[in-house]
Amino acid sequence: MRLRYLVCYDIADQKRLRQVFKKMHGFGDPVQYSVFRCDLNPTEKALMLATLRELVNTAHDRVMIVRLGPASAADTGSVEFLGQPLMPWKRPAAVII
The tens digit of pLDDT for each residue in 44-65 reads: 999 999 999 999 999 999 999 9
Q: Report helix, strand or coil for 12.
A: coil
Q: Report helix, strand or coil for 84.
A: coil
Q: Is residue 84 part of a domain?
A: no
Q: Is residue 31 part of a domain?
A: yes
Nearest to 45 by CA among 77, 10, 13, 4: 4
* Most confident segment among 11-20, 70-79, 88-97: 11-20
Q: Is residue 50 part of a domain?
A: yes
pTM (2 decimals)? 0.79
Q: Is residue 86 part of a domain?
A: no
